[in-house]
A and B are shown apart, each in its own frame.
Chain A
Amino acid sequence: MRVAWLLRRLLHSVALLFAVSVFSFLLAHFAPGGFFDDLQLNPQISPETVWQLRHRYGLDRPLPLQYAKWAASAARGDFGASLAWQQPVAPILLPRLRHTLQLTGTAAALAWLCGLPLGLLAARKRRGLLSRLGVTISSMLLVTPELLLILVLMLAAIRLGFPGLLTSFALPLGVLVAGMFPLVFLHTRSATLEVLDAAFIRSARAHGIRGTRLWLVYILPAAGNPLISLFGLSLGGLVGASLVVETVLSRPGLGSLFLDAIANRDLDVVTAVMLLSATCLIGGNLLADAILAWNDPRIASGGSRE
Chain B
Amino acid sequence: MTLGLRPEAPVNKPVRLLLAILLILLAIPWSDGARQDRAIPFHPPDGAHWLGTDGFGRDVLTRLVAGTRASLAAGLLATALALAVATVLGALAGYYPGWRDEFAMRLAELFQSLPWLYLVLGIRSVLPLSLPPSLALLGIALVSGLTGWTRPARLVRGVVLSARTRDYVLAARAFGAGDLYLLRRHILPETFPVLAVQASVLLPQFILAEVTLSFLGLGIGEPAPSLGGMLSALRDLSVLSTYPWMLSPAVVLLLTLTGCNWLTRHSNR
**Do A and B have CB atoms closer than 8 angstroms in the complex?**
yes
| A interface with B by C-beta (< 8 Å) | 12, 16, 19-20, 23-24, 27-32, 126-127, 132, 135, 139-140, 142-145, 147-148, 151-152, 155, 182-183, 186-187, 189-191, 193-194, 197, 199-200, 222, 224-230, 232-233, 236, 262, 270, 274-275, 277-278, 281-282, 285, 288-289, 292, 296, 298-299, 302-305
B136 to chain A, nearest CB (A): 19
Q: A143-B257, A148-B234 are in contact. List 20 more A-B contacts (CB 8 A).
A: A12-B106, A27-B114, A27-B122, A29-B118, A31-B119, A32-B125, A145-B232, A186-B201, A187-B194, A225-B162, A226-B158, A227-B158, A230-B155, A230-B158, A275-B113, A281-B113, A282-B109, A282-B113, A299-B161, A302-B98
B1-27 interface mask toward A, CB cutoff 8 Å, 1 = contact, 0 = none?
A: 111111001010000000000000000
Contact, CB under 8 Å: A24 / B97: no
3 closest A-B pairs by beta carbon, nearest first, are A30-B122, A278-B113, A229-B158
Contact, CB under 8 Å: A12 / B102: yes
CB contacts (< 8 Å) of B211 on chain A: these are 145
Contact, CB under 8 Å: B161 / A296: yes
Docked pose: A16 CA to B3 CA in angstroms: 36
Docked pose: A270 CA to B115 CA in angstroms: 8
Docked pose: A193 CA to B121 CA in angstroms: 43
User: What does DSSP make chain A's interface, helix, strand, loop or mixed?
Assistant: helix
| B interface with A by C-beta (< 8 Å) | 1-6, 9, 11, 96-98, 102, 105-106, 109-110, 112-119, 121-122, 125, 151, 154-155, 157-159, 161-162, 164-165, 167-168, 190, 193-194, 196-197, 200-201, 204-205, 208, 211, 231-232, 234-235, 237, 240-241, 250, 253-254, 257-258, 261
- Contact pick for A142, options B114, B125, B200, CB 8 Å: B200
CB contacts (< 8 Å) of B231 on chain A: these are 145, 148
- Are A232 and B154 CB-contacts (below 8 A) given A132-B11, A299-B97? yes
CB contacts (< 8 Å) of B3 on chain A: these are 135, 186, 189-190
Number of A-B contacts (CB under 8 A): 175
Docked pose: A279 CA to B237 CA in angstroms: 36
CB contacts (< 8 Å) of A155 on chain B: these are 237, 240-241
Q: Which residue of A lies closest to B6 (CB)?
A: A127
Contact, CB under 8 Å: A233 / B159: no
Contact, CB under 8 Å: A20 / B110: yes
